[in-house]
């Protein structure tokens, strides 16, 4: 019984049965007409059969439309479910990163603590990375320490000392660009594609970004740091402009040094750029690879980033020479900068593994 129900009431499968019934009824009508000598109206019979067939076709069309609608709704539900799953997965990953940063930061509380000591460690790390095979730097701004040294009231008493220290860090970055085998520098994006970029520099200098908060440099570093050290004052546009231009000037100097004053022939021949833009910054990272050194792998991790800018006054850092841990940070750098999707970089790493 269930077979006949599923068969007879599905027009897409049983239409030929109904067509046979229709033709049979026509034949029966013609036979009755001959048998009753015309007293049975063939016109009425055919009209009834036609009405029956039209009704059947309407039913078939409605069934097809309903089935296609159900399929479309089912596909839409699948897309919505997949979108929801991806959104939940991204949220969970973000929470995991946030938790990991907090956990590692708390666990390394006694290693390096305080802005002065961290800047000193950055200087010493770069100073000890001479002639490295690879250097990876992931930081908020290319002008490392300049914003804090200029505007943090807690550092004002030793402002000259901090200026000397940050200038030395800048000089060491340029020295490492010149003498390292490969150099990769990742920093936040000012993202103010000024419409006057084709105008003279003196005209651009008076132009402020219309929406500075759209850039990761502004949103992930300058604005939250300013809010932390000056909670009652809005960020002046002149301060933002100063930091943005200093950041861009340092990036240009890195690019020029890499292009004109160094011999990174393998990296340049592979077409892998020296600069990489970050949309976000979980923490800051300096990595040195020198396979001939006593400690071939070394990394300095500074736990200041988008997840804990409120702790910028209590900055902490750790230094590690554990090869597997440093390789993990290299993989993270490659992922954040999307180098892991660069075929040229993958080929270079196959030829020169780290």
Is residue 239 domain-shared with residue 165, that is, in the same domain? yes
List Cα–Cα distances, 10 to 6, 64, 229, in angstroms.
6, 10, 73
Closest CA to 276 of 205, 196, 341: 341
- Local structure of residue 79 (DSSP, 8 states): H
User: What is the per-residue pLDDT for 140?
Assistant: 92
User: What is the per-residue pLDDT for 297?
Assistant: 94
Residue 100 lies in a domain: no
User: What is the per-residue pLDDT for 283?
Assistant: 87
The whole model's pTM is what?
A: 0.65
Instruction: Find the domain containing 260 and state its range.
Output: 111-351
Say which residue, 10 or 76, is predicted with more confidence.
76
Mean pLDDT of the chain, nearest integer: 78
Q: What is the mean pLDDT of residues 183-207?
A: 58
The answer, yes or no, to whether residue 264 has pLDDT greater than 60, is yes
Is residue 155 domain-shared with residue 244, that is, in the same domain? yes
For 38-85, what is each residue's pLDDT tens digit?
Answer: 544 555 555 565 566 556 656 666 666 667 676 766 777 777 777 777
For 159-169, what is each residue's pLDDT tens digit?
Answer: 888 899 999 99
- 3-state SS of 11-23 is HHHHHHHHHHHHH
For 279-324, what is each residue's pLDDT tens digit?
Answer: 888 889 999 999 988 889 999 999 887 777 767 777 888 998 989 9
Q: What are phi and psi of 277, to 5 degrees?
A: -100, 135
Residue 103 lies in a domain: no
Is residue 32 domain-shared with residue 154, that is, in the same domain? no
Beta bridge partners of 288: 135, 298
For 221-232, what is each residue's pLDDT tens digit?
Answer: 898 889 888 888
- Contact status, residue 292 vs residue 354, Cβ threshold 8 Å: no
- Contact status, residue 354 vs residue 133, Cβ threshold 8 Å: yes
The answer, yes or no, to whether residue 151 has pLDDT greater than 90, is no
Residue 115 lies in a domain: yes
Q: Could you tell me the maximum CA-CA distance found in the chain, to the nearest angstrom?
A: 123
Kind of pairing between the strands at 182-188 and 275-278: parallel
Residue 88 lies in a domain: no
Share of the chain above pLDDT 70, in %: 66
- Contact status, residue 133 vs residue 181, Cβ threshold 8 Å: yes
Is residue 122 domain-shared with residue 249, that is, in the same domain? yes
User: What is the per-residue pLDDT for 45?
Assistant: 56
Is residue 30 domain-shared with residue 72, that is, in the same domain? yes
Buried b (16+ CB within 10 A) or exposed e, 231-269: eeeebeeebbbbbbebbbebbeebeebbeeebebeebee
How many domains would you assign to the chain?
2
Q: Torsion angle of alpha carbons 57, 62, 65, 71, nearest 10°?
A: -120
User: What is the per-residue pLDDT for 193?
Assistant: 46
């Amino acid at each position: 019984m269930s077979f006949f129900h599923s068969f007879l009431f599905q027009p897409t499968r049983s239409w030929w049965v109904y067509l046979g019934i229709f033709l049979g009824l026509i034949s029966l009508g013609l036979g009755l007409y001959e048998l009753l000598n015309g007293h049975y109206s063939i016109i009425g019979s055919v009209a009834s059969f036609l009405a029956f067939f039209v009704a059947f076709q309407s039913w078939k069309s409605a069934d097809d439309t309903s089935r296609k609608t159900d399929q479309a709704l089912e596909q839409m539900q699948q897309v919505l479910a997949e979108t929801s799953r991806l959104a939940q997965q991204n949220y969970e990953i973000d929470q995991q990163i946030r938790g990991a940063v907090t956990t590692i930061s708390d666990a390394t509380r006694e290693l390096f603590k305080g802005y002065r000591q961290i800047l000193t460690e950055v200087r010493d790390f770069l100073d000890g990375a001479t002639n490295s095979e690879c250097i990876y730097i992931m930081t908020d701004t290319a002008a490392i320490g300049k914003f804090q040294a200029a505007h943090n009231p807690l550092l004002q008493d030793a402002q000259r000392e901090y200026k000397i220290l940050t200038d030395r860090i800048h000089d060491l970055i340029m020295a490492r660009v010149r003498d390292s085998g490969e150099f990769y520098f990742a920093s936040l994006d000012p993202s103010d594609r000024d419409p006057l970029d084709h105008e003279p520099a003196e005209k651009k200098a008076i132009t402020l970004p219309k929406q500075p908060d759209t850039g990761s440099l502004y949103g992930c570093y300058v604005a939250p740091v300013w809010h932390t050290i000056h909670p009652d004052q809005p960020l002046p546009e002149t301060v933002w402009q100063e930091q943005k231009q200093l950041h861009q000037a340092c990036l240009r100097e890195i690019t020029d040094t890499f292009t004109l004053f160094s011999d990174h022939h393998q990296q340049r021949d592979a077409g892998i750029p020296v600069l990489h833009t970050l949309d976000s910054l979980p923490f800051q990272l300096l990595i040195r690879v020198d396979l001939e050194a006593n400690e071939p792998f070394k990394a300095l991790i500074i736990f200041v980033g988008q997840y804990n800018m409120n702790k910028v006054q209590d900055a902490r850092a750790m230094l590690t020479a554990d090869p597997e841990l440093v390789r993990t940070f290299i993989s993270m750098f490659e992922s954040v900068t999307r180098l892991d999707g660069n075929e040229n970089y993958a080929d270079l790493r196959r030829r020169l593994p780290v």
